[in-house]
Structure 1
Amino acid sequence: MELDPDLIEEFTNLKVSTRPISAEELANFDVNAPLRQRNAIDHPSYKTIPKFFQAPPPPEDTIRQNLRKEAHSLFLHQKSEELLDSNELNELWSTLEEHVTQTTSANEQLIDFDAYFLVQGAVSGKIRKYVTARLLGTLLVLSPHPGLVEIVSVFNYIMRKSWLKQGRIGLSFYDEAGQGYLRETDMEQYIIDLIPSLAQIRDCMEPSFQPFYVCTVVKRFFFFLDVQHRGRIRIRDVLESGMLSELLDLRETADPMDPQGQNPFSMAAVLGVYQNYLSLDKDHNGMLSKKELADYGSGTLTAIFLDRVFEECRTYEVQMDYKTFLDFFLAMDNRKSPQALQYLFRILDVGHRGYLTVPTLHFFFKGIQEKMKSQNEDPVNFEDINNEIFDMVKPKDPCKITLQDLIKSGQGETVVSILIEFHKFWAYENREENPQNV
C-alpha cells in the first residue's frame, strides 16, 4: 500500500520541541486545530468512515419521533413473526423423534450428525433457522455420548431460545427511548399489561393491591440489575438474569404441590413483603419511623446501624416509605448477593471513602456491645472480633476492607451481619454449639 505523499510531507515537517510549555500556552491549546495551520489534512479515506452512531431526534421534533416509533414497532412485529408457536414446536419434536438414531437403556433418544441434517431438510423454513449446524456442534461438545446428542437437548435449547426472543421483543415494545433499556415507568407499564396473562396473579389479586404488586416487582428488578442507580436497566440484563422467566412462570396454573412462596413474584411472596411493612407501621400512617423499623426481623438491629440507614436512604421527614423499605428489605433478605452487600456497604462506609477501617468497624461494633449490655451478656473484646473479620476477608490492603474484598471473600454476609444485628452476632459467637443457626 502506497502512502499519500502529502501525508508523508505533513509528518516529515513536524518539529519536536523539548522546551517547557507555559500554563498560558497550555490554556490556549486547541485540540481541533490542524497539524499544519496553512493546510489542513484532507485525506480521501476520511470520507469512507461509516457513521456508527445516530443520535435520537429531540423530543420537540414530533414528526421524526413518531417516525422512529413507527419504524421500531414495525421492526418488532417483523421479528415476532419469526417466533415459533406451539404447533411449530410440536412439529419440531415429532420430526426429531422420527429421526432418532438410537435409544439408550435409560430411554435417552439420541441423534447423530447425518440424522440431524435430515431433520433440517424435513422441517419448515421457519423452524430450520433454529436447527443450525452451530447448535449441533455446541451440543456435541457437551454431550456425554460421542458423536450423538439427545433430541431433548436440541428441543429444549430451541424452545428456550424462542421464549427468550419472545421476552426480548415483548420488553422492547416498552423501550420508549429505543436504546435497549427500560426506565422504571416503562417497566411498570410492562408489568401492568402483563398481569392479565399471569393466571396465578390475575385470579387472586384485588384491584386495590395492583399498584403495590407492580411496585414490588419493579423494585426487585431494579435492585438487582440497576446497581449503578442510573434509573434504567438493560433489556439484555433482564433476560440474562432469569428473573423474567420466574415472572412468566406465573402464567401457568398453580401446582398445589409446589409452594408459591418459592417464586419471588408470586402473590404469596409479594403479600409477605407488604404485610411485613404493614406490621411494622404501628401508627398506620403509611410510613416507617426509625423506632418502627427497629422491630424488623429479629428486632435486634443496632441503633447505630438504623441511624445510618436513615442518614443514607431517601426518607420523607425522617419517615421511610414503601419503596425505600423495599430496597432495605431486599438487601437484608439477600445478604449474600453482591447487590445487597453494595447497599449495606454504603451504610457502613460512614466517611464515603470506599473502604472500611478498624475505627469504622469499632464504631458499628459499639452497637452490638450496647445490645449485649442491655441483655446482661458478658462483653466481647472488639480486638478479637476485629482480627476475625480481617482473617475472614483477607483484604488486599491489611488496613482497609473494600466492597470488592467483601464480595471476593465469600464472607460478606457474615461480616455485615455481626456488625449490625445482635441476633446474628450471637449466633456467630455460638456457632460451635448451634452450627445450624449460623
Structure 2
Amino acid sequence: MELESGTFGAIGNLQVSPRSIRAKELGTFNANVPLKERVGKDHPSFKQIPKFFVPPPKPEDKVRRLLHQEAHSLFLQRQADELLNLDDMNDLWKTLEKYVTETTRSRQQLVNLDDYLNVVAEVGVKCRKIMTVELFFELLVTSNFPDMLEIISIYNYMMRRVLLVQGSIALSFYDEIGQGYLNESDLESYITDIIPTLAQVSERLQPSFESFYVCTVVKKIFFFLDHLHLRRIRIRDIVSSGLLSQLLELHDTAILKDAAEIKTTNWFSVSAVLEVYENYLDLDRDHDGMLSRKELSEYGSGSLTTIFLDRAFEVCRTYGGEMDYRTFLDFYFAMEHRKTLPALHYIFRILDINQQGYLTAQTLRYFFDGIEERIKAVQAEEVNFQDLKDEIFDMIRPKDALKITVKDLINSGQGATVVSILIEFDKFLAYENREQNHQNV
C-alpha cells in the first residue's frame, strides 16, 4: 500500500513532498525522534535554510534603497486605495437613512438587526467587509436602546475606522524603509504635515507656537510608548494605544467645542498643550528659555524635596546644568501621571541612586532625609523612619523582602503613593494625615 502525496496536495503554504510514502514508514513513524535522526544528517534540506528576515538596504546602497522605498510607497498607496472614500461614506449614510426602522420623538433614527442586514446587502464591497453581524452586537453594548442602534453610531464608527486606518497608512509613509518603526524626527514630520488637516488645531494655533505644539505632542507620545528609551516606537503601538485616535479626532469641525471642554477631553488640543507650555514659562523666572534647579523647585505646590530635585538634574539631560523644554516635558508627564507605567519607570530611574535595578531600605532613608528636612523647617511632628519603611514594604510586598524593583512598584498598585511620599512633602503630609482627612470628609 502506498499513499501518494498528491492526495493531500498543499496545506496552506506547506508543500507536501512529492515522494511516495510507504505503509511501513507510517507504521514506524515516531514524532518524538528528532527530524535529523529520521531523515539523516546529510539530507539536502538541512543545507538550504530558508531566509526569514531580509535586512533593509544599507544607506550607501542608494539604488536598492530607492527601489525599496518606491516599492514600500506603492504598497501603501494600494492600501489607501482600498479605503472608503467620501462618496462611499455618503452612500452609506443614504442607505442607512433608507432602512431606518424607527424614529424616536427626539428624532433619533434607529435600525434593528434585520434592517441593518438590508443595509449591508445594499452597500458596496468595502463597507460590507467591515459591517459584520459581530459589529452590530458590539455597538449594541453601548446603545441606549435594547435591540436597536442609532444609525449615527454606525456611521461614526465607520468614519473613525477610516480615519484610523488612514492615519496608520500615513504614519507608514514616514517610515521610509518600511520596518514598522518611527523615531522622533519621523513623528515630528508627520505631525507638522497633518496640522493643516486638524481643524480644531489649525483654527487655534498661532504660527509662532507651532514648533512647541509639535514638540509637546511628539514627546507625549514617546513618553507613554517608549518608556524603555529605545528612541523609536512601533507604528502598530501608536495605533493600538488610542493616541492616534485622539489626535485624529481633532479633524472634525462638526464637534468644535469650547476650549475648556476640549482641554479636558483631548490631550492634543491646543488648549491642553498650551497649558503645559505656560507652566514651563511660569517657572522660567529669568526668561532665558531654560529651567535652573532653583526654578524647577517651584513646580506644582513647590514641595518637591531638594534631594529628589538634585537627583533629577543628575539623571536627566541638562545643558550647562539647566533643563530645556524637551527635558521638562518628560518630567512634567511623569509628575502629572504618576500612576502610569512610564511615569513609574521614569521616577524609579531617579530613585535608583546606585543604578542597581532595585531600592533598599538605605535608598528609602536617603530620600526620606529630604522629607525630614521639610518636617523640621515647618516644625511639624517628627516621623519614625523605621515605621514608614515598614509601611512601604508592606504596601509593595516585593518578591525579595529587602529589595523593591520597578516591577514590584507596578504590580503592587501602590507605586504612585510610595514614590509620592518619598519625593514630595505635601503628598507625604496627605498620606500621614489620611485617616484624619477621611474622617473630615
| Shift in Å, 1:131 | 2.7
- Identical columns (%): 55
Separation (CA, whole Å) in 2 of partners of 1:141 and 1:167 = 26
Separation (CA, whole Å) in 2 of partners of 1:170 and 1:257 = 28
What corresponds to 2:244 in structure 1?
244
The answer as to whether partners of 1:431 and 1:437 remain within 8 angstroms in 2 is no
What corresponds to 2:94 in structure 1?
94
| Shift in Å, 1:342 | 0.6
Q: What TM-score, normalized by structure 2, do the two folds share?
A: 0.82
The verdict on how the C-alpha distance between 1:396 and 1:185 changes in structure 2, with shifts beyond 3 A counting, is same
Consecutive unaligned residues of structure 2, counting only runs of 5 or more, are 1-20, 26-32
What corresponds to 2:112 in structure 1?
111
RMSD (Å) for aligned C-alpha atoms: 3.3
What corresponds to 1:288 in structure 2?
291
Compare 376-385 and 264-273 and name the one that shifted more: 264-273
| Shift in Å, 1:129 | 2.6
What corresponds to 1:30 in structure 2?
none
For residues 193-227 of structure 1, give each alpha carbon's deviation from its aligned partner in whole angstroms, at most 9, with x where no partner exists: 11112233323333222221111111001000112
Equivalent residue of 2:182, what SS? strand
1:363 aligns with 2:394: no
Q: What TM-score, normalized by structure 1, do the two folds share?
A: 0.83
What corresponds to 1:401 in structure 2?
404
Q: Which amino acid aligns with 2:348?
A: F
* Residue in structure 2 matching 1:333, options 324, 331, 336: 336
Separation (CA, whole Å) in 2 of partners of 1:270 and 1:378 = 40
What corresponds to 1:72 in structure 2?
72
For residues 278-312 of structure 1, give each alpha carbon's deviation from its aligned partner in whole angstroms, at most 9, with x where no partner exists: 22222222222212211111111111111111111
Compare 127-136 and 237-246 and name the one that shifted more: 127-136
Equivalent residue of 2:434, what SS? coil
Compare 140-149 and 235-244 and name the one that shifted more: 140-149
Separation (CA, whole Å) in 2 of partners of 1:289 and 1:436 = 40
What corresponds to 1:27 in structure 2?
none
* Residue in structure 2 matching 1:261, options 251, 263, 274: 263
The answer as to whether partners of 1:335 and 1:413 remain within 8 angstroms in 2 is yes
Separation (CA, whole Å) in 1 of partners of 2:138 and 2:268 = 33
The verdict on how the C-alpha distance between 1:60 and 1:97 changes in structure 2, with shifts beyond 3 A counting, is same
For residues 162-208 of structure 1, give each alpha carbon's deviation from its aligned partner in whole angstroms, at most 9, with x where no partner exists: 22211101111111231111111100111111111223332333322
The verdict on how the C-alpha distance between 1:136 and 1:249 changes in structure 2, with shifts beyond 3 A counting, is closer
Equivalent residue of 2:399, what SS? coil
Q: Which amino acid aligns with 1:371?
A: R
The answer as to whether partners of 2:259 and 2:271 remain within 8 angstroms in 1 is no
What corresponds to 2:425 in structure 1?
422
Q: Which amino acid aligns with 2:52?
A: F
| Shift in Å, 1:123 | 1.2
* Residue in structure 1 matching 2:305, options 297, 302, 305: 302
Separation (CA, whole Å) in 1 of partners of 2:78 and 2:35 = 53
Separation (CA, whole Å) in 1 of partners of 2:288 and 2:137 = 61
What corresponds to 1:272 in structure 2?
275
Consecutive unaligned residues of structure 1, counting only runs of 5 or more, are 13-34
Q: Which amino acid aligns with 2:78?
A: Q
For residues 44-75 of structure 1, give each alpha carbon's deviation from its aligned partner in whole angstroms, at most 9, with x where no partner exists: 4765x654322111111111111111122122
| Shift in Å, 1:127 | 2.1
The answer as to whether partners of 2:227 and 2:346 remain within 8 angstroms in 1 is no
| Shift in Å, 1:360 | 1.0
The answer as to whether partners of 1:331 and 1:344 remain within 8 angstroms in 2 is yes
For residues 363-411 of structure 1, give each alpha carbon's deviation from its aligned partner in whole angstroms, at most 9, with x where no partner exists: 1111100011011112111122112212222222222221122112221
Equivalent residue of 2:250, what SS? helix
1:163 aligns with 2:179: no
* Residue in structure 2 matching 1:431, options 407, 429, 434: 434
Separation (CA, whole Å) in 2 of partners of 1:418 and 1:10 = 60
Q: Which amino acid aligns with 2:366?
A: F
1:378 aligns with 2:413: no
The verdict on how the C-alpha distance between 1:138 and 1:249 changes in structure 2, with shifts beyond 3 A counting, is closer
What aligned pairs does 1:128-277 form with structure 2 within 5 A after superposition? 128-132=128-132, 135=135, 154-253=154-253, 254-256=256-258, 259-262=261-264, 263-277=266-280
| Shift in Å, 1:250 | 2.4
| Shift in Å, 1:80 | 1.4
The answer as to whether partners of 1:99 and 1:111 remain within 8 angstroms in 2 is no
Separation (CA, whole Å) in 2 of partners of 1:78 and 1:235 = 18
The verdict on how the C-alpha distance between 1:436 and 1:233 changes in structure 2, with shifts beyond 3 A counting, is farther
| Shift in Å, 1:11 | 4.5
